Every structure is written in structure tokens, then in C-alpha cells.
Amino acid sequence: KAGVTQTPRYLIKTRGQQVTLSCSPISGHRSVSWYQQTPGQGLQFLFEYFSETQRNKGNFPGRFSGRQFSNSRSEMNVSTLELGDSALYLCASSLAGGGNYTFGSGTRLTVV
Amino acid sequence: EDKVVQSPLSLVVHEGDTVTLNCSYEVTNFRSLLWYKQEKKAPTFLFMLTSSGIEKKSGRLSSILDKKELFSILNITATQTGDSAVYLCAVEYRNTGNQFYFGTGTSLTVIP
């Protein structure tokens, strides 16, 4: 079966712009989580969605937002981009949240 | 403050060596501890541990959890160059949904 698909794979944006990243979970998975990975901080939790509702949110500013659609696909939006937002953004899905998450290959965002 | 700490940060070994990676945690409402292997982008699931003292094993890899001392180890025997990767430890805790704290990882390099 298809894995977790993230698009685009790479993205270059300038400061002040906004960006939308997409994540299609494994078919049947209803929980989608987003993580930011940087060399210094490791993986940091952004938020988790389950059945179109945000269940959890990490300690990120309000510029980071997300949503989940009825087909469980999820999008993440970052507004007013800053240089420090440059990172690998990973999405992970599971059946109902918790336990064994399957990760996508990520979107590499570079802010210049 | 909840945290997950992995050690060592990096490790270089020769093929055939045995390595032990450590993960200690201080997380309230602990639910499970997971190990992932990250080679390029997408972390891939290795083990999920919920009970103390029960070893999980998969080929040359094994892992065990100590919930009293709040740590886990991941052992890799007879290492191969294909084991070169970053190994991530994640602790799942129950909030309103499910959420993970990740360690910053141990970078393992296996040289021929």
C-alpha cells in the first residue's frame, strides 16, 4: 500500500512569504502529526490532527497552522516566514494516533 | 520540563562491532517509547516498548525499557555499513490526544 506522501519535496521561499505543505496519510489512517526537524533541535512536534480536529499543538508560534480534510489529508501553513523556519518538515500518520507512526519523506523548506 | 536525552550524540564503529545506544527520559503521563531509524529523510519504525524488562528483538537489533530508571537501550550486534543512520528515540505521552517527544538522535557510522 502507498506510504505517507508529502508534497512538495523541496521549497525555497523568501522571508515574509507564506507556504503551504501537504501530507497524504496512508489509506485508512486518521491521525496525522507534523514535526519540524532541524540539526540543532531534532524533531519538534507541531500539531496532531484526528478526524479533522486538532487534538494537540506543540510550542510553536501562531504563524504555524494546519488543518485536516475529511479524507484525512492534511495541510500545514506557515505565514510570514523567517529564516529560522528553514527545516525539514515531516508528517506522520497512524490509524488512530499513538504507537507506530509512519513518516513521510518530508518537505525541505529553505527560507532565504 | 519533559525531556528525552539520547547518548552518545555520535558514534563511529567498525563492521562487526556491537553498539549500545541510550535513551533517558523524564516525561509525565508516559505511554510508550519508540525507536526509529532515519537514514535520509523518513524515519522508519524499529520498536515500540511499553513494559519494563521485556526485550524486543528484530534480527540483529534489540531493545529494552526500564520504566523505573526511565531509560531504554537499543543494541545492534554485528554491525553492518547499512546500519549507518541516525537513531531516534521518541516518548509518547497522553495529553488530550497522543503526542511524542523526540530525542535529538544518535548518529551511527559503521565503517568497513
Q: In this model, does residue B99 exceed pLDDT 80?
A: no
- Could you tell me how many CB contacts below 8 A there are between chain A and chain B? 67
Q: How far apart are CA B4 and CA B51, in angstroms?
A: 18
Sign of the dihedral through C-alpha A6, A34, B32, B5: positive
SS3 A17: coil
Predicted pLDDT of residue B93: 83
Rg from Cα positions in chain A: 13
Torsion of CA A36, A37, A39, A40, to 10 degrees: 50
Q: In this model, does residue A65 exceed pLDDT 80?
A: yes
Contact B102 A33 (CB under 8 A): no
pLDDT band at A41 (very low <50, low <70, confident <90, very high): confident
A93 contact residues in B (CB cutoff 8 A): none
Q: Residue B70 half-sphere exposure, CB side, CA atoms within 13 Å?
A: 12
Residue A99 corresponds to which amino acid?
A: G
In terms of C-beta density within 10 A (0-12 exposed, 13-18 middle, 19 or more buried), how is residue A85 classed? buried
Q: Give the chain B residue whose CA is nearest to the CA of A36.
A: B102
Predicted pLDDT of residue B96: 60
**Residue of A56, A37, A20 whose CA lies nearest to B96:** A56
